[in-house]
Structure 1
Amino acid sequence: MREFSLPALYEVPADGNLTDLVRRNAAQHPDIPVIARKDPAGGWQDVTASAFLAEVRAAAKGLIASGVEPGDRVALMSRTRYEWTLLDFAVWSAGAVTVPVYETSSPSQIEWILADSGAVAVVVESAAHEDAVESVRVRLPRLKHVWRIDAGGDGANAVEALAAAGTDVSDAAAEERAGAARADSPATIVYTSGTTGRPKGCVLSHRSFFAECGNVVERLAPLFRTGDSSVLLFLPLAHVFGRLVEVASVMAPIRLGLVPDVKTLTDDLQGFRPTLILGVPRVFEKVYNTARATAQAGGKGRIFDRAAATAIDYSLALDTPSGPSLKLRLAHRVFDRLVYAKLRAVLGGRATHAISGGAPLGERLGHFYRGIGFTVLEGYGLTESCAATAFNPWDRTKIGTVGQPLPGSTVRIADDGEVLLYGEHLFTGYWNNDAATAEAMADGWFHTGDLGALDEDGYLSITGRKKEIIVTAGGKNVAPAVIEDRIRADALVAECMVVGDGRPFVGALVTLDEEFLPHWAEQHGKTGRTVAELAADPDLLAAVQQAVDVGNAAVSKAESVRRFRILPGQFTEESGHLTPSLKLKRNVVASDFADEIEALYAAPRG
C-alpha cells in the first residue's frame, strides 16, 4: 500500500455557499467582465460581475415566487450556454439543488433522473427538450414547472419568465434565501453516465466545490489571473468537469466564455482568444490530425512530420538535466516560425496551457503539444471526486501521468492496485442509494474502481479499471485501457474496444473516424469509395494494423492484439454504445457485435 498527499492551499469556508462568490465579485470587482455570451452575429458580449449578480438575483426571485423551497431539486437540461451558468447560480441563490440532465438524454433517461431526484421544476433549452419532458410528465407527480430557454414565438424565455414572476419578492427576502444553503448542504446531484445499469446520483456539497475549485485555482494561480486570464468552455455543463470550470472561473474570477459544442470550435477559439483551454483528449487529437491532414493535402506533409518529431524531441529534452541541445534548439526555432506558431493561432493565439481530462491523452501527444509551446496539463477525476482529484501542476508537469493529488487530499494505492481517495472534495453519497454509498466508501476512503500507481514524487498513473480486466484462456490479466488509448490515438481510428475474456488471445473491435477517412482516401487515390468498401481495402487494413502495432508496442506479447475487426459506422451516444461523457458501454458493444467478436476467433490465425 502506498499513498501521497499534499497540504491544502485554500481554506474552505466554515460555512456559506457558492452564491457568496457572486456577491463577493460584485462587491470587489463590479466592472470586471466575468462571463462572455456569444451573440447571434458571432461576437461576444461581456457581462460584468455586478450585472451577473443582478441577473442571478432576478432569476432566483422568480424561483422563490414559483414555490421552489430550500433543498428542492431543480433540473437543467441544455447545451453549454450563458443561461446554464446563470440559472445554476440562481438555483443555488434560491437555496435549491441543481440536477444537470444531458441535452441528448432520451425520454426514459429524463424520466429516471427527474423521478429519482424528485425534481420540482426543470429548465430545458428547446422545444424538442420540452416535448421529451412532457412525454413522461404524467409519471412525474412532483414536477410542477417546466421553463424553456429558447421560448420561440412571442413567449417569454425562461430567464425573462422567472424575472417577471419574481418582481414582488423583495431584495431582503432574496438575500435571506441566498444564505439558506450551508457549506455541507447539497449543491448538485450529478448522475453518473451509467456504463452499466441505472445512473446513480452523486451528491456534491457546496463544501466539495469550495475544496475542489479553491485548491485548483491556487495551485494553478498563474493560469487564473483576475483581469487577464480567460477560459473558453465548450464541454457539457451536465458533466462535472464542465462545472469545475464554471465554478473555478467565478471563484478566481476570470472571464468565462461559453459555447454549445465543438462544431465551430476553431472560429470560437480565434474569436474569443482564451488564455486557458479545457478539453478532452479527442479534441487535441482532432486538432493534431486535422493539421497533419491539411499539411499533407498541401504537399507539406514531410515538413509537418519533421516539425512534429522535433517538437516531441524538444519536449523530451526539457526533462533531461542538460535540456535541449543547440542543434535541437535551432531546429525548434525554425519550425516555430514555419509550423508551431500557426498551430497556436488555431488555438486562439494566446493560450499557453490546457487542462485535459476524461480519458488518457497519451505521452506522444503530450510531448508534441508542450514542444510547440502549448502545455496540456493532464488530470484525473470522477463525478464522485467533484472532477479533478489529481492534475499536473503548471510548473512541474510530468507527461505520461495524471499529476499529483489535489492539494488537501490524499491518494492511496491499495494492495490490489485500486486507487483510493480521501478529502473534502469527495461526494457525500449516492442519492437515495445507501447500499451503493456503503459499497463505494469505507472509513472515509472512496474506492474508485480504477487501477493505478504512484511514483516517488506522488505522480499518479492510471492503468485501467478493475471491472474491465480481461482474463484470457491462458490466465493472462489484460487491462484494455493501455492498448486501446494508443490505438485510438491514430487519426484513422475513432474507437477501439479490446476483447478476449476467456479467449485464447486478445482481439479488438475498431471503428473508423469518418471525418478523417475522406482525407486518407484522397491521399491514397481511393476517393468516392464508401466506408464499407474502404473497411475491406487492403491498404486501409494495413494502415489500421500499423495503429495496432503501435498499441502492441506498449504491452507484452500475451496482452497484444492479434486480430482486429473493423465495424461499420461508429460508436455514438445515439447508437447506445457511448455514454454522454463518451465512455464505451462495453457490455452493450459486446452484445450488439457478438457475431463480429465470434468471427475474430472463428478462423485460424495467420
Structure 2
Amino acid sequence: MNFLSYQSVPAILKDNSRKYAKRTAISYNKRGVFLSLTYEEFYERVLMLARGLKQAGVQRGDRVAIFSENRLGWAISDFGVQSAGAITVPIYATNTGKQAAYVINHCEAKVVFVSTQTQYEKLYAIRDQIPNVELVISYERFMGERSFPVYTQYQLSEVERPLTETETAMIEKQIDEIRQEDIITIIYTSGTTGVPKGVLLTQRNIMVNTTHGLKRVGSSTLPQTFLSFLPLSHVLERTGGYYMPLLTGNHIAFAENVQKVMENMMEIKPTNMVSVPRLFEKIYSRIYENVHQASSFKRNLFHRAVEVGREYVQKKYVTKEPLGLLELRYKFFDKLVFKKVRERFGGKIKYFVCGGAPLDKTINEFMWIIGLPVFNGYGLTETSPAITLSSFDIIRFDSVGKPLHETEVKLADDGELYVKGPQVMQQYYKNEEATRETIEDGWLKTGDIARIDEQGYVYIIDRKKELIVTAGGKNIAPQPLENELKLDKFISDAYVYGDGKPYLVALLTPNLERLIDLGRELGIHYIDIEELVTNEKVMAVYTRRMEAFNAALPPYKTIKRFAVLPREFTIDGGELTPTLKLKRKEIYNKYKDIIEELYIKAGNGVVRRPKADNERLETSVSASKMH
C-alpha cells in the first residue's frame, strides 16, 4: 500500500471512514471493559472536535499540546488538531509540570489537552509559567480552578449536536488543503543529554515511513489488531503502532497501562505489536520462570524443543537451507510446547516490531524459536522513526536489519552512523544551531556507533555519547554488557559504569521472584528485600554468576565490582525513560555514592568467590546506603 498517493494522514482517515465504515477502528478500556468505535464513528468524533477547535479560534499552523497517556481521547485530539489545520505537540504523561511548561512555551501552544485531573493539576501548579495558554481541555470531567478553567473534549466537540452538511464540508475542505510538506507534529526529544529539542516532522515524513515499513514487513489482506502500550508521545509507537493500523484500515486497541500489557494481550488477542526490548525481556524471563518451576520431564522437553527450534530458525530464516525432516521435528515440538506458550500471549501474534534500544541476540532468537517473530529495527525521532528494519526475509538476530527503501546509510571515520532519506526531519524547531550540528550536506548524524556488514545488515553498537572510555583508554559499549547481564535469571536490570575509571562496575536490580525463591532455598531469614540482597549467601551466588559472566570476556570488559539494589529501575523512580531505556545520567546521580564506594572499597578490585565463611564479600555496599 502506497500512502504517498494521498496528501496527508487525515486525508487517508477520511477515505478509510467510507471504505471501512463499519469496521472497528479503535478499542479502549473503560472501567474494566473494552469498548470500541468504528471508522465511521471515529471519523465523526474527529470532525466534531475539529469543529470545536475552529470555533475556539485555532488557526492553521497553530501548535496544540496533548499531555496524556494513550487513550481514545488522544487519538481524537491528534486527528482533530490536524483536521483543523494545526500541529500536534505530544507531551509524555510522566513529565512533571515544569517539563511540560518548557514544551508548551517553546512551541507556543495556546491550547493544551490533558487526560485527567492529575495532569491538569500539574499545569495548575505552574500556571504562572505558561501565561500564553488560553484553553485547557480534559478527556475526563472534574472541577477546575476558577482562575484556570478546564473544559471537556466532549463539551468542545458538542458531541450531542450532529454535524451539519455545511460543517462537514468546511472541515473536509481544510483536510483537502493539507499538503505533504506541512508539519504534522513537533516531537520533543527526552532531553537526557541536554535541553529537549523539538523535531519537526511532515505529513510526508510519516507517510513515507509507514509506506516503506509496510513494504518491508509485508501487508496483509486479513484484518489485524494492534495492541498499543508504548506512549504515543514517542515516534516509534506513533508511526508503527498507531498510524500504521489506522491508515491500513485495521484495528488498534489501547492497553490499560504498561503493567497490564500481558493481561490485555489475553483479552485483545492482538496480531501485531510494537514494543521496546523490555517487553521481550519480561516474556523471556516469565517463560523461563515457569520452566524453572515445572517438573524435570517438562523442563527437559522444553529445552529439547528450544534446541530443535534454534536449528530450525537458523536454517529457515538465516542460512535458508533445506529443512528436510527438521521441519517435521519442529512442527512436533511447536504443537506440543510452543503453541501452548503462544496462547499465554493471546495466541494470534503474527509478529512484533522492536525498536528504541538494542534487543539482545539471545532473546530475539528465542522469540523466533517459540513462533513469536520480532522484526528488530532502528531509528530516531528525527527519522520518523525507522531507518532500518528486519523481516522474514531479512533477519540476523543481532542486527537491526537493512535500510528501508530510498534510505542511504554510511559510517563516519569514528564509526558513527549517518543517514539520508525522505523520512529525515526538516529541522529542529527554533534551533538552527542544533540543526546545523546534526545535518551536514544532507546527511543526518545519528549519534550511534554502528557497523555494516558486506550484505548490508546494520549492527548498532551503542550511543556515541554513552561509550565508556576507561582510565586505560579502552572504549567500551555498555549496552551489550547490560543486555547480556539481564539474561541471568537473578537479574532484572543492569547498569554498567566506568568512564575515566580503571575498571568497570555494575549496579544490578534483582529478579524479585527468583531472589525470594533463592532466599527460601538457602534458608535465609530476613526482614525485607534490602536485607536479603546484602546477605552473604545471596551475594556469594551473585558473585559466582558474575565470575561466569566475566569468564567469556577480555579482561578490560569484565565487571570487577557490583552492587545489587533492593528495587527495580522504574519510570517513576527516574531511572527509565517513558520508553523504558536507562537514563544513565540520572542513575549515576541517584546512586553516585554506591558507585563511587565500589571503587573506594575495591582493594585490588577483583570480583572473587569468598575463601572462608567468615570472609565478608566486598561486592555490595550495605543496604543503608541504598535509598
TM-aligned CA distance change 1:332 to 1:394, over 3 Å: closer
Q: Greater shift after overlay, 170-179 or 379-388?
A: 170-179
SS in 2 for 1:188: strand
TM-aligned CA distance change 1:189 to 1:373, over 3 Å: same
Q: CA deviation at 1:442?
A: 0.5
Match of 2:257 in 1: 261
Match of 2:429 in 1: 431
TM-aligned CA distance change 1:248 to 1:522, over 3 Å: farther
1:604 aligns with 2:599: no
Q: CA deviation at 1:136?
A: 1.3
Q: CA deviation at 1:402?
A: 0.3
Give the letter aligned to residue 406 of structure 1. L
SS in 2 for 1:138: helix
Q: Any idea what the Cα deviations from partners look like across 1:187-236, whole Å, max 9, x if unmatched? A: 111111121222111111111101111111222224xx254222111111
Query: What is the alpha-carbon distance in structure 1 between the residues aligned to residue 424 and residue 437 of structure 2?
Result: 15
Q: CA deviation at 1:407?
A: 1.4
Match of 2:71 in 1: 81
TM-score (norm 2): 0.88
Structure 1 residues not aligned, in runs of 5+: 1-8
Q: Greater shift after overlay, 145-154 or 209-218?
A: 145-154
SS in 1 for 2:99: helix
Is the contact between residue 353 and residue 376 of structure 1 (CA under 8 Å) also seen in structure 2?
A: yes
Q: Any idea what the Cα deviations from partners look like across 1:488-518, whole Å, max 9, x if unmatched? A: 2334323322222222222222222446544
TM-aligned CA distance change 1:544 to 1:444, over 3 Å: farther
Give the letter aligned to residue 196 of structure 1. T
SS in 2 for 1:91: helix
SS in 1 for 2:259: coil
* Equivalent residues in 2 for 1:447-526, closer than 5 Å: 447-514=445-512, 517-522=515-520, 525-526=523-524
Q: CA deviation at 1:35?
A: 2.2
Give the letter aligned to residue 589 of structure 1. I
Match of 1:160 in 2: 154
Q: 1:230 aligns with which of 213, 225, 231?
A: 225
Match of 1:199 in 2: 196
Q: CA deviation at 1:156?
A: 10
SS in 2 for 1:141: coil
Is the contact between residue 315 and residue 368 of structure 1 (CA under 8 Å) also seen in structure 2?
A: no
1:215 aligns with 2:215: no
Give the letter aligned to residue 253 of structure 2. G
Query: What is the alpha-carbon distance in structure 1 between the residues aligned to residue 551 and residue 19 of structure 2?
Result: 55
Match of 1:420 in 2: 418
Q: CA deviation at 1:323?
A: 5.1
TM-aligned CA distance change 1:514 to 1:304, over 3 Å: same
Q: CA deviation at 1:39?
A: 4.1
1:565 aligns with 2:563: yes
Q: CA deviation at 1:311?
A: 3.0
Query: What is the alpha-carbon distance in structure 1 between the residues aligned to residue 359 and residue 262 of structure 2?
Result: 20
Q: 1:135 aligns with which of 116, 122, 125?
A: 125
Is the contact between residue 123 and residue 158 of structure 1 (CA under 8 Å) also seen in structure 2?
A: no
Q: Greater shift after overlay, 404-413 or 161-170?
A: 161-170
Give the letter aligned to residue 234 of structure 1. F
Q: CA deviation at 1:253?
A: 2.2
Is the contact between residue 195 and residue 584 of structure 1 (CA under 8 Å) also seen in structure 2?
A: no
TM-aligned CA distance change 1:18 to 1:524, over 3 Å: farther
1:240 aligns with 2:235: yes
Match of 2:624 in 1: none
SS in 2 for 1:511: strand
Q: CA deviation at 1:74?
A: 0.8
Q: CA deviation at 1:586?
A: 2.0
Give the letter aligned to residue 24 of structure 1. D
Query: What is the alpha-carbon distance in structure 2 between the residues aligned to residue 88 and residue 289 of structure 1?
Result: 36
Q: Any idea what the Cα deviations from partners look like across 1:132-179, whole Å, max 9, x if unmatched? A: 111112221221111111214899973311221886882232123223
Query: What is the alpha-carbon distance in structure 1 between the residues aligned to residue 264 and residue 513 of structure 2?
Result: 20
Give the letter aligned to residue 466 of structure 2. E
Q: CA deviation at 1:592?
A: 2.8
Is the contact between residue 276 and residue 579 of structure 2 (CA under 8 Å) also seen in structure 1?
A: no
Q: Greater shift after overlay, 286-295 or 566-575?
A: 566-575
Query: What is the alpha-carbon distance in structure 1 between the residues aligned to residue 197 and residue 440 of structure 2?
Result: 18
The percentage of counterpart residues that share the same residue type is 32
Query: What is the alpha-carbon distance in structure 2 between the residues aligned to residue 44 and residue 548 of structure 1?
Result: 48
Q: CA RMSD for the aligned pairs?
A: 2.6
Give the letter aligned to residue 411 of structure 2. I
1:110 aligns with 2:100: yes
Q: CA deviation at 1:521?
A: 4.1
Match of 1:274 in 2: 270
Query: What is the alpha-carbon distance in structure 2 between the residues aligned to residue 338 and residue 174 of structure 1?
Result: 55
* Equivalent residues in 2 for 1:348-387, closer than 5 Å: 348-387=346-385
Query: What is the alpha-carbon distance in structure 2 between the residues aligned to residue 180 and residue 525 of structure 1?
Result: 72
Q: Any idea what the Cα deviations from partners look like across 1:66-99, whole Å, max 9, x if unmatched? A: 1111111111122111221121111100111111
Query: What is the alpha-carbon distance in structure 2 between the residues aligned to residue 567 and residue 554 of structure 1?
Result: 25
SS in 2 for 1:151: coil
Q: CA deviation at 1:413?
A: 1.4
Match of 1:341 in 2: 339
Is the contact between residue 115 and residue 139 of structure 2 (CA under 8 Å) also seen in structure 1?
A: yes
Is the contact between residue 93 and residue 179 of structure 1 (CA under 8 Å) also seen in structure 2?
A: no
TM-aligned CA distance change 1:48 to 1:316, over 3 Å: same
Is the contact between residue 29 and residue 256 of structure 2 (CA under 8 Å) also seen in structure 1?
A: no
Q: 1:189 aligns with which of 168, 174, 186?
A: 186
Give the letter aligned to residue 64 of structure 1. K
Is the contact between residue 418 and residue 448 of structure 1 (CA under 8 Å) also seen in structure 2?
A: yes
Match of 1:71 in 2: 61
Query: What is the alpha-carbon distance in structure 1 between the residues aligned to residue 420 and residue 18 of structure 2?
Result: 35
TM-aligned CA distance change 1:207 to 1:544, over 3 Å: farther
Q: 1:582 aligns with which of 561, 580, 583?
A: 580
TM-aligned CA distance change 1:321 to 1:238, over 3 Å: closer
